[in-house]
A = this chain, B = another copy of it.
């Protein structure tokens, strides 16, 4: 049970903002810019300079004294911190509408979608966003052969725990959980649950309680 993150991980909200820093820096890089001042960076991100400074401290970005952040170096530092330099072998299980949307999006850094799996025989052999749909009977062999590290779960909730138990037994280290269920996993396995209700709560609470505040967390 943990309410705060271990020191070496840094603050979760900062980590969640890192992809946006990355996106913005990559845009500077495409424009051929080598250094970005912290003032301009924070203005483009629409976050306060102090937030930007504190967030980036966790990745120890290379800075040039008095001139700002080194664009390429900071990109590398963020990618290194997030382990996004070498995309991890990843599969997706449950090729419904949501699973298809994720596969088609295709722009996630850090993950390398090797295959997807679905129990519906009609989907077998399809290619979604360039990723093949395979039958569930092939799951164990595939996970073991390819040393799959991350499984994205977009199945109905009622089979989520059973699939997770299997995946963990076969060596999967992390579950990105989009199902309606919370999952139990042994120590050393990570679950990231995405609960869209959380975002909706944030939105409706803002509508009710505040006026005239800009887009905040992401």
B176 touches A190 (CB 8 A): no
A110 touches B200 (CB 8 A): yes
Query: A202 is contacted by which of B16, B183, B202 (Cβ under 8 Å)?
Result: B16
B209 touches A9 (CB 8 A): yes
Chain A interface bracket (under 10, 10 to 19, 20 to 34, 35 or more): 35 or more
Chain copies in complex: 2
If A101-B101, A195-B19, A200-B19 touch, does A48 touch B3 (CB 8 Å cutoff)?
Answer: yes
Q: Does A166 contact B (CB under 8 A)?
A: no
Q: Does A201 contact B (CB under 8 A)?
A: yes
B218 touches A203 (CB 8 A): no
Q: A198–B193 Cα gap in the complex (Å)?
A: 12
Lowest 5 CB-CB distances: which A-B pairs, in order?
A98-B101, A19-B197, A192-B203, A97-B101, A16-B198
